[in-house]
Amino acid sequence: MDLAIHLKSNSPIPLYQQLTEKIRTAILEGRLQPKQKLPSSRSLAKSLMISRSTVIQCYEQLASEGYLETRSGSGTYVCHQIPDEWLNAQPIEPVTNQIAQDLTLSQFGKNLISVGSLEVSEPGFEISFRYGNPANGHFPLQLWRKFLNRYCDSPTALLNYAADAAGHFPLRVAIANYLRRSRAVCCNPKQVIIVNGSQQALNLIARLTLNPGDWLAMEDPGYLGARKCFSSQSANLQPIPINSEGLNIDLLTQCNRNFKLVYVTPSHQFPTGVTLTLRQRIALLQWAQTTGTLIIEDDYDSEFRYGEQPIPALQGMDKSESVIYVGTFSKTMFPSLRIGYLVVPDSWISLVRNAKWLCDRVTPLLEQYALTDWIIEGHFERHIRRMRKLYNLRRQVLIRALEKYFGDRVTILGANAGIHVMVRIETGLCDRVILQKAAAVGVGLISAREYYLKPQDQGEFIFGYAQLTEIKIEQGICKLSQILEISN
Ligand SMILES: Cc1ncc(COP(=O)(O)O)c(C=O)c1O
């Protein structure tokens, strides 16, 4: 078989990466067909005049991505089911190491290369438990369009430059009212700064507070969007393990480091789902006050708790301006809206407003106006109530299916909340193989491995359930148990 592969031995891109890219492209462009057998690692290595371990590394990488499968005693094949959406798709260009050599890059630019790809290519699995999206199909788009149209009819003011970088004031009022009422956040509207999602909030805080070499404490496992943002500022990340009470505050305080920041998701720790207990909240706030450390509270999905009292935000208990609160409309509306907010202490308001202005001046106004009315007229909380019921149902179906098909080999972790659940499954297989086998039958999964600062196989997986119908959830779990050969 002639794969027409030419590798550049003088390129800064490692040979195995070049080879992986070539084979992936050949699959995506249809030059390698589903079920087609690949040359053995030995013969491909010989024909390309490279080492066999380079080919093995490449095959393993593509197998973990779901492009190849290895049949013992038979060889390596292109997976029989490559999702249609992947075919002919333009592969995401890896951030090229060539640029890394370029001396014109700032430290930040260089950091972004080691941070790795930030874009998520969402493969089109038939049943995807991959976490992230809420049930976008249930969002009342027709109604939302009417709210947008209200302001399309009289747009002049909206088209001007002259807008407050901190956001449309009535929206800040609406958010402050909502947060005081439903999250016990202690704030006035001026403290609310509108940004393009939590990601921008984290980015602005990181840039405003972190110097290269500063120490920051991160939940471990923890949120990649936050971790990558802090790493890009050359911060040193100290992983703090999670226990049944949430962030392990004893370990945090024993670190004896001069932390600038600590990043936490107290309502529903991402990804384990544990809620930070009251005892630990008090300990964290006292420690932050004594050490002068700033706490970033990321309250990304607290609206969704099922059958349990909502947990008030940490920010509302803070008496020493130690907490910056971050919220988002990505889960309660839809992610591409790109509206989120920060609640900052009074002394921070003008600083954060300036940082936001320098970044992109202002979050698009049309959506801010529409969202203000949406909240004031009750649609925001109505949609949350409807989705809470739906997610609760889907969560129960998922948990019942996991218990039915996996029996006592599965442990459900975390609180009864959010739009994902982390579970531990005992299979005796490594996570990569499980993902590969699942992908081969069209089931998308995420291993919790990547969320640990020191990746480790724990048999822990994240199941996002918001987007899947109850039938698909049951089918997906049934398929998983079959391929993992678990009969209960
Ligand atoms: C822990 C955490 N924070 C924040 C977000 C939301 O990010 P954004 O508001 O940028 O969409 C997510 C989304 O998945 C998340 O998991």
Tens digits of residue pLDDT in 284-330: 999 999 999 999 999 999 999 998 777 899 999 999 999 999 999 99
What is the pTM for the complete model shown? 0.82
CB of residue 340 inside a 6 A radius of ligand 1: yes
Residue 36 and residue 68: Cα distance in Å, rounded?
Answer: 10
Each residue of 189-230: pLDDT tens digit?
Answer: 999 999 999 999 999 999 999 999 999 999 999 999 999 999
Q: Which residues contact 185 (CB under 8 A, 6 or more apart)?
A: 176, 179, 313, 315, 316, 325, 343
Residue 305 and residue 392: Cα distance in Å, rounded?
Answer: 8
The pLDDT of residue 488 is 63
Q: What percent of the chain has pLDDT over 90?
A: 68
Each residue of 150-186: pLDDT tens digit?
Answer: 998 776 778 888 889 999 999 999 999 999 999 999 9
The pLDDT of residue 238 is 96
- Ligand 1 center–CA 180 separation, angstroms: 21
Residue type at 152? C
Please state at what angle helix 379-406 crosses helix 470-483, rounded to 10 degrees: 30
Confidence band for 466, pLDDT divided at 50, 70 and 90: very high
CB of residue 272 inside a 6 A radius of ligand 1: no
CB of residue 270 inside a 6 A radius of ligand 1: yes
| Other C-beta atoms lying within 10 Å of the C-beta of residue 331 | 24
CB of residue 199 inside a 6 A radius of ligand 1: yes
DSSP state string for 425-445: E--SS-HHHHHHHHHHTTEE-
Angle at 480 between CA 478 and CA 484, to 5 degrees: 120
Query: Both tokens of residue 207?
Result: 């840039």
pLDDT reading at 124 higher than 90: no
CB of residue 452 inside a 6 A radius of ligand 1: no
CATH number of 15-91: 1.10.10.10
Query: Taking a C-beta distance cutoff of 8 angstroms, is the pair 473, 465 a contact?
Result: yes
Chain-centre distance for alpha carbon 391: 18
Substitution candidate for ligand 1 out of 119, 195, 247, 300 with most atoms within 8 A of CB: 300
Q: What is the average per-residue pLDDT within 387-395?
A: 97
Residue 55 and residue 14: Cα distance in Å, rounded?
Answer: 12
Confidence band for 363, pLDDT divided at 50, 70 and 90: very high
Confidence band for 84, pLDDT divided at 50, 70 and 90: low
Confidence band for 89, pLDDT divided at 50, 70 and 90: very low
Query: Taking a C-beta distance cutoff of 8 angstroms, is the pair 55, 40 a contact?
Result: no
Residue 22 and residue 247: Cα distance in Å, rounded?
Answer: 43
Q: Selecting from 2.70.70.10, 3.90.1150.10, 1.10.3470.10, 3.40.50.150, what CATH number does the domain 127-137+387-483 have? A: 3.90.1150.10
The pLDDT of residue 225 is 95
Phi, psi at 21, each rounded to 5°: -60, -40
- Across the chain, mean pLDDT equals 90
Residue 375 and residue 366: Cα distance in Å, rounded?
Answer: 14
Among 117-131, 204-218, 255-269, 298-312, which is the least confidently predicted range?
A: 117-131
Confidence band for 144, pLDDT divided at 50, 70 and 90: very high
CB of residue 335 inside a 6 A radius of ligand 1: yes
Choose between 224 and 63: higher pLDDT.
224
Q: Which residues contact 244 (CB under 8 A, 6 or more apart)?
A: 274
Domain boundaries, the chain: 15-91, 127-137+387-483, 141-381
| Other C-beta atoms lying within 10 Å of the C-beta of residue 187 | 22
pLDDT reading at 94 higher than 80: no
CATH number of 141-381: 3.40.640.10
